[in-house]
Structure 1
Amino acid sequence: MNESDSAPASTADNRTGLSEDVIAIVAGMLLLVLCFSATLMLGKETVEGDTVTAITNPLKGYVSKPGGWEANPVDAFTGPADKPKATWPGTLGALVILGVFMTALSPLMRPKANPAAFLGGFLILFLLATIAYVLAGQSVVKNYNLEYALWALVVGLIIGNTIGKQAFGALGEAAMRTELYIKTGLVILGAEVLFSRLMALGMPGIMVAWVVTPIVLITTFWFGQKILKMKSASLNMTISADMSVCGVSAAIATAAACKAKKEELSVAIGLSLCFTAVMMAVMPALITWMGLDEELGGAWIGGTIDATGAVAVAGGLLGDTALEVAATVKMIQNILIGVIAFGVAVYWTTRSDSEEGEKPTIGAGEIWKRFPKFVLGFIGASIVASLIYASSSEGEMLVSGTTAVTKGLRGWLFCLAFICIGIDLNFRQLSSQFHGGKPLVLYVCGQTLNVILTLAMAYLAFKVIPWGS
């Protein structure tokens, strides 16, 4: 995202302190170490017979989002009267962990922040993020898969277009760290993207997830630039990655890699969430009507529906086999997040990103200077987690116990980022990105290509090629 979107307090402040990429890597790694250590030293073992089958992280109950509710939003924290389930400790725990870590690092940030001011602003943002999670948990809203990201943007937009960011004063200036929250969440995400997932479906899964995805990404980007002639290449790339890889997470990583504007990221995410809600309901019915079996239908769902949660829901509507295949294909596809972000970052540092056609310097030093370092944190976390996971059955359980907690932290970090994005935007900026309807046309055309190619590849990989038989 554009560096100009978060202008520093002063030139001197901008030259001191660590960059957001470095802070994100440090914060992400510290959070991963905390969660892994808790699993290793304090984890509760589940034993069946003489065998340990799982290790539960003691922090799991203290890092979670508010639960679901129907008529009374308080139920999101306490559970309904007939089935009480306290979720408020999870919300409070996430606030304490993230608040302590981020506040402790605030003096090292660029521009530097007063810890007290940062904490005050962080508490306000966390309250708004909690409201977004509660809205997303309402039963009717949940059935339509209108996820927290959409509600966080809505809450932020309401604040930004009414009282405005200036109402928060110094607190808002200190804690409004959109890219920091995004990049820290992506570093944590790396631990969830395990290379061992490749082995679950082998070559058929890899063909569906790794062959179709780059073809759709490159073709859609080319279509947007050459046919639609979109003014913003970064918007084009963010939408293309969002639609072809895995939705919100890919959009966030790609937007950071190509320095997309905040309103461009909002447009991509908004399109993704809307189409995901539709496809989650339509695709299982379409697959049943076409008479496809669960394996083929699951692979088709996993390769086309953006959000991992929506993939699981849609696959589950077809059956257990479809659910397993769909989820695994999506996990294999998720591995591409870091690869795509890396490739986009390199491309963006070696292309002309000036409207006037300025020729960039393409030396190794310039690439490293402009390259988003958080991608290395993502890849590093993925490699370490994959090695631990593959080392032994205990390593597998340790990683699973750790990521059960980091998923919650990642969700809160992304929610905080979307709140910040919404507050920084105004409706005029957001509506300007839909000028001429080109983003919508790009998404529809790209997703159409994605649906057709994924079905063809899934049929070829699962029904035609005799793998080892």
Structure 2
Amino acid sequence: MSSINTRFSLHEDWTVVVLGILIIILAILGIVVPAPAFSWSNSAELSNAVLSSSNLQSIALQFLAVLIVAIMGAFLTSKPLKNLLITFPSVYFLTLIALILAGNQQVKNLNLEAVIFSLSIGLIISNFFRLPQWFKDTLSTELYVKIGLVLLGTTIIFGDILKAGSLGLIQALVVVLSVWYFAFWLCRKLKIDNELTMMISSAVSICGVSAAIATSGAIKGDSKKLSYVISMVLITAIPMMIIMPYIASYFNFPDEVTGAWLGGSIDTTGAVVASGSLVGDRALEISTIVKFSQNVLLGVAAFAISIYWTYTNNPLATREDTKPTLGVIWERFPKFVLGFIGASLIFSFFVPTEVNAEIKGSLKSLQGLWFALAFTSIGLETRFADLFNKDSRKPLYAFLIAQLFNILVTLVIAFMLFGS
């Protein structure tokens, strides 16, 4: 029996590439998993839309699809299936509650994403109830995160770089590079550990939650640290979304400048759209262009961070007379990045526009579901004391200072590029 397990065992990174690309290929071939609706504003809409028989059928089909993928993941990595068949439905049910809560219109207006609800639900359960160790051991957080990241690649279309406009792309490049290096330098000065340094730098400079998740996957980061960084991103995005348009209005910034400022400094796409809408159509257009330009850079950043991390954090790299070989770097390189880039290339150059339009909703829904499943799992294996403690103060200070730097630098660049 052991020989059979060995034969079929794959490293987790290769497993997520296989599973992620398989989901994408099946969707392209026409096997599309329906995307359930979770938007509602009152009890009537909750009953008639979200909890309708047709939507519950879509939810059931989506659950069946992700369950099959989770079983395949357990099989390919030689993990026991018996406990998974108990654990995964439980995690999915809790995640479903989070998705429904996040679908409320008032919650959406506050820009509270599903991951913060799934994390919170998991934390509440793990801190008020004692979960058996076998349950925690069965949670496959990394697998869920990385499948979601491979699917995220389907939204990064190279052709859209040109559509974003040269000024938006120039601003994105300047902001990402300057803010990332400032945040990196600041974290080093405050003696923050390497994993948090990389996650904070990417979250502040690129695109918030997605950048933090991608960076954590690239460096094989601690899931508890990732939760902390994402909590900071989501908490700071709310006041920025509300206050920055009023600052722009008070000082009579041109709409183009305001849009570029919002798009380049607010860390979540939803908050950028909401904030730009408060200013006007032109500001919303420019803010979306600039934000999308930053999102496009995520794949490049994840690849560069992966190379940097595997080289500088290899044990051999600490010895002056020895440097890690290309073979060692390849062994430590997170393979999900290849899946992410492969998905982006497939959708950029090989998938017809009409096919993309038909399947992008389904893949986007699955991507969000895998991320939410991962954060439910993180919550279930984490205690509040691990997430927020005295050691979390310096990362919070670093994040807030870097965010202030981001706001100021982006405003200056926005005036330089869009002020005329």
Letter of the aligned partner of 2:368 in structure 1? G
Contact kept in structure 1, 2:155 and 2:344, CA below 8 Å = yes
Q: Look up the match of 1:94.
A: 62
Secondary structure at the aligned position of 1:79 is classed as helix
Once the two structures are superposed, what CA deviation does each residue of 1:68-127 show, in whole Å capped at 9, x if it has no partner? Answer: 244x4x85353399xx89643332232122112222342112x4232x532332111100
Q: How many residues align?
A: 416
1:217 is the counterpart of 2:217: no
Once the two structures are superposed, what CA deviation does each residue of 1:136-191 show, in whole Å capped at 9, x if it has no partner? Answer: 23343332222111111111111222223417x4x6533x1111111111111101
Contact kept in structure 2, 1:136 and 1:142, CA below 8 Å = yes
CA distance, structure 1, for counterparts of residue 152 and residue 50 of structure 2? 32
Q: Look up the match of 1:173.
A: 137
Secondary structure at the aligned position of 1:229 is classed as coil
Contact kept in structure 1, 2:39 and 2:50, CA below 8 Å = no
CA-atom RMSD, angstroms? Answer: 2.6
**More moved, 28-37 vs 131-140:** 131-140
Letter of the aligned partner of 1:113 in structure 2? P
CA distance, structure 1, for counterparts of residue 372 and residue 345 of structure 2? 26
Q: Look up the match of 2:114.
A: 148
Q: Match for 2:333 among 371, 378, 381?
A: 371
CA distance, structure 1, for counterparts of residue 76 and residue 244 of structure 2? 48
Secondary structure at the aligned position of 1:205 is classed as helix
CA distance, structure 2, for counterparts of residue 352 and residue 376 of structure 1? 20
1:182 is the counterpart of 2:149: no
Q: Look up the match of 1:123.
A: 89
CA distance, structure 2, for counterparts of residue 401 and residue 317 of structure 1? 31
Secondary structure at the aligned position of 1:64 is classed as coil
Q: Look up the match of 1:53.
A: none
Once the two structures are superposed, what CA deviation does each residue of 1:233-286 show, in whole Å capped at 9, x if it has no partner? Answer: 111211111111111111011012223211110110000000111111112222
CA distance, structure 2, for counterparts of residue 242 and residue 421 of structure 1? 19
1:381 is the counterpart of 2:334: no
Letter of the aligned partner of 1:370 in structure 2? R
Once the two structures are superposed, what CA deviation does each residue of 1:335-372 show, in whole Å capped at 9, x if it has no partner? Answer: 22222122112111221467x95667421011100000
Q: Look up the match of 2:127.
A: 161
Q: Look up the match of 2:40.
A: 68
CA distance, structure 2, for counterparts of residue 453 and residue 235 of structure 1? 22
Q: Look up the match of 1:400.
A: 357
Q: Look up the match of 1:134.
A: 100
Q: Look up the match of 1:422.
A: 379
CA distance, structure 2, for counterparts of residue 146 and residue 102 of structure 1? 27
Q: Match for 1:346 among 307, 325, 329?
A: 307
CA distance, structure 2, for counterparts of residue 164 and residue 69 of structure 1? 35
1:240-259 → structure 2 map (5 Å cutoff): 240-259=201-220
CA distance, structure 2, for counterparts of residue 436 and residue 120 of structure 1? 34
Quote the offset at 1:322 in angstroms: 2.0
Gap change, CA 1:65 and 1:242, over 3 Å in 2 = farther
1:297 is the counterpart of 2:264: no
Q: Look up the match of 2:48.
A: 78
Contact kept in structure 2, 1:78 and 1:86, CA below 8 Å = no
Letter of the aligned partner of 1:17 in structure 2? S
CA distance, structure 2, for counterparts of residue 77 and residue 25 of structure 1? 38
Q: Look up the match of 2:416.
A: 460
Secondary structure at the aligned position of 1:443 is classed as helix
Gap change, CA 1:93 and 1:63, over 3 Å in 2 = farther
Gap change, CA 1:127 and 1:454, over 3 Å in 2 = same
1:264-343 → structure 2 map (5 Å cutoff): 264-343=225-304
CA distance, structure 2, for counterparts of residue 113 and residue 28 of structure 1? 21
Q: Look up the match of 2:79.
A: 112
Contact kept in structure 1, 2:50 and 2:56, CA below 8 Å = no
Contact kept in structure 1, 2:314 and 2:324, CA below 8 Å = no
Quote the offset at 1:15 in angstroms: 10
Secondary structure at the aligned position of 1:161 is classed as helix
Once the two structures are superposed, what CA deviation does each residue of 1:4-47 show, in whole Å capped at 9, x if it has no partner? Answer: xxxxxx9x9899711121111111111111222228xxxxxxxx
Once the two structures are superposed, what CA deviation does each residue of 1:169-217 show, in whole Å capped at 9, x if it has no partner? Answer: 4x6533x111111111111110101111211232201111112102211
CA distance, structure 2, for counterparts of residue 370 and residue 195 of structure 1? 27
TM-score under structure 2 length normalisation: 0.91
Structure showing the higher helix proportion among its residues: 2
Unmatched segments (≥5 aa) in structure 2:
none
CA distance, structure 1, for counterparts of residue 20 and residue 335 of structure 2? 13
Contact kept in structure 1, 2:35 and 2:361, CA below 8 Å = no
CA distance, structure 2, for counterparts of residue 183 and residue 436 of structure 1? 25
Gap change, CA 1:160 and 1:346, over 3 Å in 2 = same
Contact kept in structure 1, 2:41 and 2:106, CA below 8 Å = no
Contact kept in structure 1, 2:37 and 2:49, CA below 8 Å = no
**More moved, 312-321 vs 135-144:** 135-144
Quote the offset at 1:314 in angstroms: 1.3
Letter of the aligned partner of 2:411 in structure 1? L
TM-score under structure 1 length normalisation: 0.82
CA distance, structure 1, for counterparts of residue 88 and residue 163 of structure 2? 41
